[in-house]
Chains A and B, each alone.
Chain A
C-alpha cells in the first residue's frame, strides 16, 4: 500500500471570471520512505500540490488517500489532527514565531498537541542536540543565521515524528553552502525512513532526489526515478 495515493485530482481557482486549473487530472502514488522532488516552473501547480498533500487545501474533485485512508472527506478538525501527527512542514521562509525562542518554536507542535511540559522539554533538548542547536536553544529567530533558522524549522517539523515531510523550496532563502547542509539534513531524515517530498525549481537539488516529478500547467509531464 502506497503512503500517498492521488487519483483524478482537480483543483480549480476562480480568478475574476476565468477559471484556472491549478491541478488537472492528476494521479500520483508515493511509497513510504521515498524521496521525491516535485519540479516545475512557477505557476505549474507544484505548490498547490504540496498544499493538497499537506491537507492545507482540498481538491475540487478526486481522491487523496494517506496511509490507505481517504482524507479528503475528513472534517477540518480531523485533518488538523492528521497534520499534527503525520505531516511535518518545512517552508522557504522558515515560518518561525519571532517572539518564541528556538526551543519554544521546536516545542510548538507538541504544545498544540497538548503534550505535557516535562516530555516536551526532554524531546526538544534531544532534537536541538541532534540538529546541532543545543547552544542556540534560548535564542530568538532574529538572533539566528538563515541556516540555523531552517534547522530549527526542520527540528520542529520532525518533533512529532511524522511519516511525511513536505518541504517547500527549503533552500530558497539560503546560500549554496547552507542550502546543501539543509538538504543533507533532510536526506538523513529520509534515510531514517521518513518519506520526503521536496518542491523546488532548482535542478541541482532535484537531481539529488531518487524520484523526480515534473509539473507543467497543472499536469504531471514527467515522472522518473
Chain B
C-alpha cells in the first residue's frame, strides 16, 4: 500500500467517526493548550522580573551593610558581630577602584511632604548626583542634585511626577519650598515619568542630598551603595575591588555584603525558569492522560471496525499494512489535536496578555516543541497497542463480526 494511500485511508477512517475523532482531538488539544498557557504564564513572570531588574540600571554592584550568610556560633562572632557603618566616605572611596565608573550612596526613609496644606506620605531617597545615571532615570523639569561635594547637605529636592501633581496640581513646582518632615527644601527638579519600578515607584519619591537625608533620619549608616561598573566584563572585578576597599576601610573586616545585579537576576531567572518547567511538567501529565484516551479510543475503533479489518485481510492486506493504517490514524489525530491545542494555547496566552499588559506571557519555544512533540509521540506510543491488536486479528473471526 502506498504511503499516500495509507494517509488518505487513515484520514477517511478518522473522518468516518466524527464523535470519536472529536473526543480524541479534544483530549489532546486540552493537554497541549494547558502546557502552552501555563508555560506562557511562567515564562511571562520570569521575563517580567528580568525586565524589572534590568530597569534598575545595568552593570550594577550593590553594597549592603552587614554580613549575610550564616556560620553558626563561634567565639569570633561573639566579639566581632558589630557592623561598622557604611558611610558616604566609603562610597567616595570606591571610585578609586579601576573597574568602577560611578557610585551613589543611598539612604532611604519615609516622611511627609507638605506644600500649602497639601500633605502626602513620600519615600525620601538621600543620594548624590550620580544616582540619576546609575538608575538610568531622567529629569523632566529643572535639574538633578548638584554634583559638588559641599552640597551633600544642601536643602534642595528633586521630586517625582506624582508628588508634583499631588502637591502642586497645575501650579509650577520649580523653585517652590516644600516641607519634608521638619525641614524645608527648595524644589530644583522634577523626575521624568518612569512608571513602575521594582520595589519602588520612582514617581512617588523625593530625592534629596544624602547628607540631608542622614540628618533627617538621624543615622550615619547608608542603606545601600550602588556601584556601576565600567562595562559588563568589569562587574566581577568591580565586585572584588569593592569588597577589598571596604574591607580595608573597615579595619580589615568583611562586614558588608556585595551582590551583583547579575547574580540576583540569574537567581530569579533560574528559580522562575524551574517554576515554568515544573508547571509545564504538571500540565504535561494531562498529555499522558490524553495518550491513554487515544489508546482507549483506538481500541474501540478496532472493535468497531473488526469486520473491515477482516475484509482487508481477505483482500490480501498484510498485517503490517493494517498496523500502519491504524498507527497513521492515531498519529494524524494526535497531530491535529496538538495543532488545535497549540492554537487554543496561543489564544489563551493572548487573552492573558490583554488582561495583564505588563506580563509578557509568551510561551517559550521549547515548551511549544515539547508539548507538540509529547502529544504526537504519546499518540503514536499509545496507538501501537491497538494497531498491533488490529493487525493480529484472526481474519475468519473478524469477518464473522459485522
Contact = CB atoms under 8 A, between A and B. Distances in A.
Contacts of A116: 2
18 contacts: A51-B396, A57-B395, A77-B319, A77-B320, A81-B316, A83-B314, A89-B314, A95-B314, A97-B311, A108-B312, A109-B315, A111-B5, A111-B9, A112-B315, A112-B316, A114-B5, A116-B2, A117-B5
Q: Which 4 A-B pairs have the closest CB atoms?
A: A84-B316, A99-B16, A83-B316, A80-B318
Interface in B1-40: 1-2, 5, 9, 12-13, 15-16
Nearest to A97: B308
A108 B313 contact: no
Given A83-B316, A84-B315, A112-B315, 5 more contacts: A77-B318, A91-B399, A95-B310, A95-B399, A98-B16
B392 to A, nearest CB: 10
Interface in B316-335: 316-321
Contacts of A89: 314-315
Contacts of A144: none
A20 interface: no
B171 interface: no
B307 A95 contact: yes
Contacts of B315: 83-84, 89, 108-109, 112, 156
Contacts of B9: 111
Contacts of A76: 318-319
B97 to A, nearest CB: 78
B316 A85 contact: yes
A112 B396 CA distance: 19
Contacts of A156: 315
A56 B311 CA distance: 10
B399 A114 contact: no
Interface string B168-190: 00000000000000000000000
B308 A54 contact: no
A93 B316 CA distance: 19
A156 B312 CA distance: 12
Interface in A79-109: 80-85, 87, 89, 91, 93, 95, 97-100, 108-109
Interface string A39-74: 000000000000100101100000000000000000
Interface of B: 1-2, 5, 9, 12-13, 15-16, 307-308, 310-321, 395-396, 399, 402
Contacts of A57: 395-396
Interface of A: 51, 54, 56-57, 76-77, 80-85, 87, 89, 91, 93, 95, 97-100, 108-109, 111-114, 116-117, 156, 160
B316 A100 contact: no
- Most B CB within 10 A of own CB, among A80, A95, A109, A113: A80
A98 B308 CA distance: 9
Contacts of B319: 76-77, 80
Nearest to B6: A111
B13 A56 contact: no
B1 A112 contact: yes
B320 to A, nearest CB: 8
Contact of A95 (B15, B311, B320): B311
A99 B12 contact: yes
Contacts of A87: 316
Contacts of B311: 95, 97
Nearest to B9: A111
Nearest to A84: B316
A111 B307 contact: no
B1 A56 contact: no
- Most A CB within 10 A of own CB, among B12, B13, B310, B318: B318
A80 B315 CA distance: 8
Contacts of B317: 80, 84, 112
- Most A CB within 10 A of own CB, among B5, B13, B315: B315
Contacts of B313: 56, 80, 83
A80 B316 contact: yes
Contact of B312 (A82, A99, A112, A117): A112
B13 A114 contact: no
Contacts of A100: 12
Contacts of A77: 318-320
A174 B326 CA distance: 33
Contacts of A54: 314
- Most B CB within 10 A of own CB, among A76, A93, A97, A112: A112
A68 B318 CA distance: 23
Given A99-B16, A100-B12, A113 B399 contact: no
B12 A56 contact: no
Contact of A56 (B16, B314, B321, B402): B314
Contacts of B396: 51, 56-57
Nearest to B314: A89
Nearest to A104: B12
Contacts of B308: 97
A56 B313 CA distance: 8
A174 to B, nearest CB: 16
A42 to B, nearest CB: 13
B1 A111 contact: yes
B9 to A, nearest CB: 7
A115 B16 CA distance: 24
Nearest to B320: A77
A99 to B, nearest CB: 4
B322 to A, nearest CB: 9
A76 B2 CA distance: 20
Contacts of B5: 111, 114, 117
